[in-house]
Structure 1
Amino acid sequence: MRLPTPPELLHEPRWRRTWAWLWAAQWLAVGIAALSPGEIAPTLSPSDKLDHLFAFAVLAATGVLALRRQASSMLLVAALLLAYGGFIELAQMHIPGRYGDWGDVLADALGVALGIGVVPLLRRHGPWARA
């Protein structure tokens, strides 16, 4: 058994199911991290805005890879993730040591745009492009 090449991972539909499972696991991980009480909430960087941007960029890119290559799929990923980010901020208002912040939703939105935008670039350019 050989490992898939990067172009196979980005282009071949047979990998969609794998991307979908990974996407579901990421949703769960982000939800657990975001809804943990403030004193135990994990961070990846000195800025929670960067954490939001990174998490939602990864979620968006994985979502695009999990769905069909259509503009409507990208819009669906964007809508779902923006709603998820808003829900998280509203829910955090009820968690000890956490608070809702619309700046976090903005960081989520920027991450979604970055994640959705990077997949088509990777598919077209560099070592990830189909030969």
Structure 2
Amino acid sequence: MISIVVLALLPLDKAPLPEVSDKLQHITAFLVLAFLIDASTPEKSFNVWKVGCLMLYGLLIEWLQLQTDYRFFSLADLFADLAGIALYIFTIPVWKRLPPLSWRWSLSQELNT
């Protein structure tokens, strides 16, 4: 999470991967963060609290960017963050079938029984 904040606060001319769409970077970052927050608490399903925490984190990043004179607050970035979270939610059935990741849901079932 710290590295994402650092990357988000870099001046645009120093940002890595400038050829990759900013919105794609947001979607990818929040897809990964959604998995990480979900995997770190397997006893709970991916719920509104996890989504809320991620969106507050996205809002914090936008607010921090507003504090600089070289970045700005963007609602489009927040929607891209939400798109990354939604992509995670819609692809959970795929993740459950991948052997390297299926442990997260099997552990969840063990903890709930």
Alignment match of 2:27 (pick from 53, 65, 82): 53
Structure 1: segments with no counterpart, 5+ residues: 1-26
Structure 2: segments with no counterpart, 5+ residues: 107-113
RMSD: 2.4
User: What whole-Å deviation, never above 9, does each CA across 1:61-116 have from its counterpart, x for those lacking one?
Assistant: 11101112423x53222111101111211221121321111000000001012224
Residue 10 of structure 2 aligns to a residue whose secondary structure is coil
Provide the identity percentage: 30
Superposition TM-score, scaled by structure 2 size: 0.75
The aligned runs of 1:2-17 (5 Å cut-off) are none
The aligned runs of 1:116-131 (5 Å cut-off) are 116-123=89-96, 125-128=97-100, 129=102
Aligned to 1:75: 48
Number of aligned residue pairs = 103
Residue 79 of structure 1 aligns to a residue whose secondary structure is helix
Partners of 2:94 and 2:43 in 1: CA distance: 13
Q: Is the Cα contact below 8 Å between 1:64 and 1:116 reproduced in 2?
A: no
Q: Which consecutive aligned stretches of 4+ in structure 1 deviate over 6 angstroms post-superposition?
A: none
Superposition TM-score, scaled by structure 1 size: 0.66
Shift of 1:45: 4.9
Q: Does 2:16 correspond to 1:42? A: yes
The aligned runs of 1:90-101 (5 Å cut-off) are 90-101=63-74
